[in-house]
A and B are shown apart, each in its own frame.
Chain A
Amino acid sequence: MTANQNELLSALVDGELKGNELEQALQLLSTSDTAKAQFKRHQFVSDVLHGYVSQNRSVDLTGRITDALLDDPSISSATKRKALVIAFPAYFWKQATGLALAASVGAMAVLGVMSQPQNELMPIAAVASIEAPVQPMIVAQTGNRWTVGEKEVEDRLNTYLVNHNEYAGASSVFSYARVVSYDAGQ
């Protein structure tokens, strides 16, 4: 084993490896018995220094545990299921999420349009002009024109309505003209 590999295993004992170096160390441990023995010695030194060693005895449970895990089919199938669930790379999930969102929005838009009755398929401006004002209802109750106590206010409001009607008529937008009428003098 090279000095660099030995240092790598010593750093693994201290939990100081990440990414490629960790991968390298794991590979080394799984392929080389010498490396595994060296890692165990490094770990044992650390354990002795911390007083974790009972009666100066070095233990090795890896073989027993590996055998026990191999004998238990429920464990191996459980980890395999888990592995399958998260085996896709991160970018895959990002793209899939984006596509799913776009598809949902598209489907909702199409369904929304399809479910509208035909007579409601009109420009947005027209819809707004129908739905927004509630005043025409008031006018309808009092006749087809504004009826306000003060003459000045009444005249001004009627002027607005006339102007609006002219504009609406020119732009073929459904107008208030259906529910209001001109005053005699206008």
Chain B
Amino acid sequence: MDLELVQRVQEGDKKAFDVLILKYQQRIVHVITGFVHDPVEALDVAQEAFIKAYRAIPNFRGDSAFYTWLYRIAINTAKNHLTARARRPPAMDVDALDATNYYDAPELKEFETPESSLISDELEQAIQQAINDLPEDTATAIRLREFEGMSYEEIAQVMECPIGTVRSRIFRAREAIEKQIYEIMSEEE
């Protein structure tokens, strides 16, 4: 899915790399936070990981998914950071292939504070409510996309509608969820 963006970066298109950063920065920071607990340090390590990826991207051949490749770089950068700081890295060694399931790892949850956990619960409930309030077709489209990981083409087949309709439904669902999320986040601030 990212191959065309990667090819554009390899051809010197900086805009395409910006999109890859926007797309994966949250996930990469989340993964790095599992190693580097300080949020400010975690951002520095994430930045370093992206810069390393940019340097190495001319050699990326697409043998693995771009995110898997980026994930390995991020993990190595985090471990190197800890070594440089003479800290012990977590005993758990993460396999790159488990990257997409990593957010469920207990090693990450234990760093959450009770307060942040409460906020997450509230956010989760708000998201569920927002999805339940959507028209059925729209709710199904976003569930199939976000929770089942289906492509637009697959969703179109399942829902027996054109791909354009799928695209439109997913956008409307995101807008509705977005409102709920930002309401909660603005209350926190």
Contacts and interface: CB of A to CB of B under 8 A. Distances in A.
Interface residues of A, number: 56
B12 A82 contact: yes
Interface in B148-189: 151-152, 167-168, 170-171, 174-175, 177-178, 181-182, 184-185, 188
A147 interface: no
Given A54-B29, A59-B29, A14 B178 contact: no
Contact of B181 (A45, A59, A75): A45
A72 B52 CA distance: 12
Interface stretch (B77-85, B86-94, B115-123, B132-140): B115-123
A56 B116 contact: yes
A56 B25 contact: no
Contacts of A175: none
B56 to A, nearest CB: 10
Contact of B119 (A43, A55, A87): A55
B112 to A, nearest CB: 7
Interface of B: 1-2, 4-5, 8-16, 18-19, 21-23, 25-27, 29-30, 33, 39, 43, 46-47, 50-51, 54-55, 58, 103-104, 112-113, 116, 119-120, 123, 127, 145-147, 151-152, 167-168, 170-171, 174-175, 177-178, 181-182, 184-185, 188
11 contacts: A15-B1, A19-B4, A42-B171, A43-B22, A44-B181, A45-B178, A50-B146, A53-B30, A61-B21, A65-B21, A86-B10
Interface of A: 3, 6-7, 10-16, 18-19, 22, 26-27, 29-30, 36, 39-62, 64-66, 68-69, 72, 75, 78-80, 82-83, 86-87
